[in-house]
Amino acid sequence: MGVASNLTVKLLNRCRWIGIAIIVYVPLDIIWEGGWELLALYNHA
C-alpha cells in the first residue's frame, strides 16, 4: 500500500490538474447521486 500511495503522490505532483479534477469530480458525483435518491424518496411520499 505504501508503494501505491508513493506512486499516486508522484503522479499528483507531476500533474496537479489531475488532483484538482478528482477534487471537483467526487463532490459533484455525490451531489448528483444524492439528488436522484432524494427525488426517488420524495416522489413516493
Measure the CA–CA gap between 10 and 2, rounded to whole angstroms. 12
Measure the CA–CA gap between 41 and 33, rounded to whole angstroms. 12
| pLDDT recorded at residue 45 | 56
| pLDDT recorded at residue 19 | 86
Three-class DSSP category at 33: helix
| pLDDT recorded at residue 43 | 86
Cell numbers for 10, please give them: 508522484
Q: Where are the domains of the chain?
A: 2-43
Encode the chain (45 residues) as per-residue pLDDT tens digits: 999 999 989 988 999 898 899 899 999 999 999 999 999 999 875
